Each structure stands twice: as C-alpha cells, then as structure tokens.
Structure 1
Amino acid sequence: MIDKPHHLPHRLGLLSATAADPFLTEDLLKGVQGHGGVDLAKVVEPLPEDDVRWEVEPLRELIEDAMHAFRDNRTQADGWLAPRLHATLRLTRREAADRRLWSHLALAVAPDYVAWRHFSASTSKINPARFKGALDRQCFSRLWWAAEMFRNGGDYAPVEAACANQDLIHSALRRDLIDHRPTAQALVRVLGRGVATTGREIEGLMTAVNAAGATLVYDALAPDAPPDPDVSRRWVAQAETAPAVPRHSLPEGPEEEPVPEESVTTLTDFFAELFETAPVRGRAA
C-alpha cells in the first residue's frame, strides 16, 4: 500500500472535483504509489486561518491510530473512527455537506488510509468515489455522517453499533428518513435484536420502512424534540478548547437531548413487524 504524502498540509482546505482529478492516477487507484503533495497544495482553496478546526495534526494522528489498532480487521475501523472523527472535526451540517472538504482530507491528508481501508482485492483497485464521491460513499464523509445520524444526543454508542454493519450505513445514508432521530435509533435496535442481519435483509427492511413512511408520518407515530440550533453552535465553538478525543473510550458528543425512549421503542417494534413481510430477495414467501 502507498505511504502517506511527503508534504502534509498544516490545515484542511477545499479541493474541487475538477482539481482532484489529475491526482487520481492509475498508480494511486491501484495502491501502488501516491503523490508528493506539493503540486496538490497549489490547487486547494484555503479555509479561514483563525479557525482551529481546520488543523490537520489531530486528524492525522487519529487516522494513524486507527490503522495501527485495526491492522488485522480493517472494516472494524469504521465503528472506532466514526465517532472520534465526528468529535474531532466539529462541523455544521452545511459544512459537512461540502464534498470539497472531504476530497481534500482524503487526497491531501490521508490517501494512505483510503487505500488501506478501501482497496478491493476483487478488482485490485480503489474506487475513485472513496476519494471524491457522494457523501455516503466517500471514505471520511460517510463516517462523519454516520456519526451525525446515529448518535443519540451526546451518546456515540449507537454509532459503533450502526457502523458494525456496512450494509446498514450504506443503505441508511442514502435515504432522507434517517434524518428522523427515532428512526435511526430504532434501526440500530432492530439489528441488535438480530431481526435483519444479511445485506439482502437490511435492504428489504429499509425498503419496507421507506415505503411505510410514504403513508405514515413517523413524526406523529414517534415524536421527537425539535432540534436546537444553539447546541450545534456551542459544539463548534468549543472546538477551540476541546481536548483530544479518547482512544480507549467513546468521546462525548454534542449536549443534545437524547431521543425519547418511548418513541424508539414504538418504532423498534413497528419495524420488527414490518420486516416480517418485507420484500427480501431470496426469502420464501
């Protein structure tokens, strides 16, 4: 696998898809050789220098710790890294929706991690989408958004559980319904019950949940507290004084009210019942 870039930027920046293309070389996608980083730095749009959040060193240390800790089981790195990436890189949702930020992190700061985590033995290549793709496919954005969508207020434990199943986070992040917090928590609980375990079963469950959402209003069935924009603002502002995230215990997320337990229980039972008649390919009628 490739080594980390010789020239690491000190700060995150914005790297457009067009600017990134020349650096997605055949050697890089084959995991043979990366880039030095100097030329890439010339096409990056800088972010405000007075914002501590854009410092690269804490992110780079976190990524290297993940590679070391999970060298024998790379897919397990997702559940460890997602909450810690989210707690380290404190973004508003608007900032996190900017693909240019994630492209810069993947190509300029940690292309070696992308290669380490997403090299495909079947194709002998890395999918370019892992460097600059959609938010649910890109190496780092998928983890940040999984943490954002599956955390229960400040509790990241459900994020670990969700990220333990690649099919769940891939399927869930493509659907708007996951923005309803009780739905996200109920999906984690359903998987915890062992109701849906295979990729086909999870896709069938998600299809059924999505279809039911077309006729049911989940907000009415399982109400949630309205979002408090001040929580997000405080979370971002506290980045200035926040300590490094712990490696052996979960960090603490935004000080947001947890999802009402009654709503999670209601939806968990409802989704488990839905799965009984969900269209699962290959399952007997």
Structure 2
Amino acid sequence: MAAAHEIPKVLGQLPSAVVTKHLSRGIQTGDEAPPTATLLKSAVQKDETDARWRVGPVRDLLVEAMERFDERPATADGWLAPRLHATLRMSRSEAADDEMWNHLAFIVAPDYVVWRHKNAGLVQSARFTGPHYTQAFSRLWWAAELFRNSDDYRPVELACTVQDVLNTTMRLDIIDHRPTAQAVLRVLRNLITEDTPRLGDQVNALSSAINAAGSTLVYDVLAPDAPIDDEATIEWITDSQIMAPVLWEILPDGPSDGRVPETSIETLASMFGQMLADAPKRKRSRHSSNENIDTV
C-alpha cells in the first residue's frame, strides 16, 4: 500500500495506458507497491469540494472489509458492494468512467485488490484496469446498481453469495432489465432454500439459458418494469454532501427510484425456473464450483 501521505484526499482519473505501463509482476503478486508519486503526475483529480469523491470513507470501508473477512476474502463482496455503492453516489454515466476505477484500484487501494483477488500467487491485470464486471471495485458498484431493488440492497447481498452471478450473469446485457435481474435472484434464492448443490453450475446454466432465450423473447414486454424515478436518484446523489459515513452493521439505503413490480418478477422467475430445469449443467471440479472461490 502507498504510504498514508501519498494517498490523495479525493478520487481522480488515471488512464488505463498508465496502469498497464506500470503494472509489474511484483505489483500483481503484492511484493511491490505501485509508484504512487509517479502515477499522481498522470492523474486528474476530481473536485475537492464534492464530498462524494473523498477517499477517506472509501479507505475506511476497505480496511474494515480486510479485517472483517480476513480469512475468506471472497465473502467480503456481499458486505462491501452495497456500502461502496452508497458511499460513492453517482449516476450510471459517471460510474462508466474506467479511469476513476483505475485510480481507486491502482493509487488509492492496491492493497485491497491484492488481498481480494490474489489467485495462485498473482492478481490478474483486469482487476486493476478492466471491464465493469471484472475490475475489483467497478464490479462491486455495478453489482449493487444492477441487483438492488430501489433502495433495498438485500438482493445485492444475495447476488454476491455466488461468485458466478458477478462473474457470468453480470456480463449479460439483459441484466439491465430490472425484472430480469430480480427474477434471476428469485430463482437463486429458491435454489438455496432447496439446498441445491453446485450453485455456480446452476447460475451459469441459467445465465446461458436466459441469454439465449432473450434473442427470441422480449423480457421487457413479458414483464414490464415500472417507471424509474430519476429525480430520486439525483436527490440521493445530492444528499452525499451532508451524509454521514455508512454504517457497518446495518445496510444503507439506496436511491428510492421505484420498486420492481412483483408480478413481473414472478412471471420471469417462473419462466426462468423452467428454463433452468431444461438446461444442461456443465459440471466443474469441486474447487472451481465453490461459491466463495473467485473464478474468472
């Protein structure tokens, strides 16, 4: 980790090319720290007067996560995702800025990336700079954004119990349809209730089935979503100027932008359950099927 005085007070933007240039094997193994002073010369700092970009609350969350889940890093996702989302309050267009996530992963918290994603002695480069479903922090923010039900983050906790939801399901374009996302979690909850083995294989089979069917079935027609209250999201973001740090023992509240219609969730959940029953399951090894193993 960079020395405390080297960590900037606010987030910024760091080009992916800069990360790639300085990402050595020593950094990927955790034996070396990124050259923070050099990197900051290539970074563009965000507005210091905007409270939501302050690094302190994010660092506090990450340190707590590393201490709380020290023995099982993958289990930190369900705790951290909603709290990171509620701390970094922003629009989807702002969250699509890869350079901001680069800055967080490579300058502010490379220690967390190594702790969470070191696998077989090495962290893949995509955990530092990569697509939204792979990059260490972007994947958590988007998991919370895509799987929350209005201000309720409990579905996010459920989504993070099986790594394949983040590694596979979150890659699908159809998951942007809120009833589809909630229906997938409804099927997952049923599988867990029924003590179904190899949940990762089940999730992958379901993801493949609904993605294939999505080319012929129009989910937003079969299960329409309610109008989203964009004003509520704007208000939620604005409140970040006066909000206290999120609590560690209680889930925060997301933006109250409208609940997903229960009838739409049930319609798709029933359909997806049948798709899963008919879908072939590719069996993996016991190790790779472990729900808390971070597979890519």
Cα distance in 2 for partners of 1:60, 1:40 equals 18
3-state SS, counterpart of residue 186 of structure 1? helix
Cα pair 1:9 1:109 within 8 Å, conserved: yes
Cα deviation, residue 158, structure 1: 0.3
3-state SS, counterpart of residue 250 of structure 1? coil
- Correspondence for 1:86: 85
- Correspondence for 2:211: 210
What are the residue-to-residue correspondences of 1:86-105 with 2, within 5 Å? 86-105=85-104
Cα deviation, residue 224, structure 1: 1.1
Deviations 1:168-187 (A, max 9, x none): 12112211110111111111
Deviations 1:12-71 (A, max 9, x none): 000001122233122111111213521211110122232111110010001101001000
Cα pair 2:227 2:258 within 8 Å, conserved: no
Letter in 1 for 2:210: V
Cα distance in 2 for partners of 1:217, 1:235 equals 31
Q: Does 1:12 align with 2:11?
A: yes
- Correspondence for 2:174: 177
Q: Structure 2: 5+ residue runs without aligned partners?
A: 285-296
Cα deviation, residue 130, structure 1: 0.3
Cα distance in 1 for partners of 2:177, 2:198 equals 22
Cα distance in 2 for partners of 1:88, 1:171 equals 25
- Correspondence for 1:269: 270
Cα pair 2:146 2:175 within 8 Å, conserved: yes
- Correspondence for 1:107: 106
Cα deviation, residue 265, structure 1: 1.3
- Correspondence for 1:22: 21
Cα pair 1:225 1:259 within 8 Å, conserved: yes
- Correspondence for 1:51: 50
- Correspondence for 2:150: 153
Identity score, percent: 46
Which of structure 1's runs of 4+ aligned residues deviate more than 6 A?
none
Over aligned residues, Cα RMSD in angstroms? 1.5
Cα pair 2:11 2:45 within 8 Å, conserved: yes
Deviations 1:192-245 (A, max 9, x none): 111684333222111111121111111121111122221221111111011110
Deviations 1:54-106 (A, max 9, x none): 11001000110100100011111000000000000001100101100000000
Letter in 2 for 1:46: Q
Cα pair 2:169 2:204 within 8 Å, conserved: no
Cα distance in 2 for partners of 1:103, 1:40 equals 11
3-state SS, counterpart of residue 168 of structure 2? helix
- Correspondence for 2:259: 258
Letter in 2 for 1:244: P
Cα distance in 1 for partners of 2:177, 2:19 equals 34
TM-score, L = length of structure 1: 0.94
Cα pair 1:208 1:279 within 8 Å, conserved: no
Q: Structure 1: 5+ residue runs without aligned partners?
A: none
TM-score, L = length of structure 2: 0.90
Cα distance in 2 for partners of 1:139, 1:93 equals 17
3-state SS, counterpart of residue 21 of structure 1? helix
Deviations 1:80-135 (A, max 9, x none): 000000000001100101100000000110000000000012xx211010000111
- Correspondence for 2:33: 34
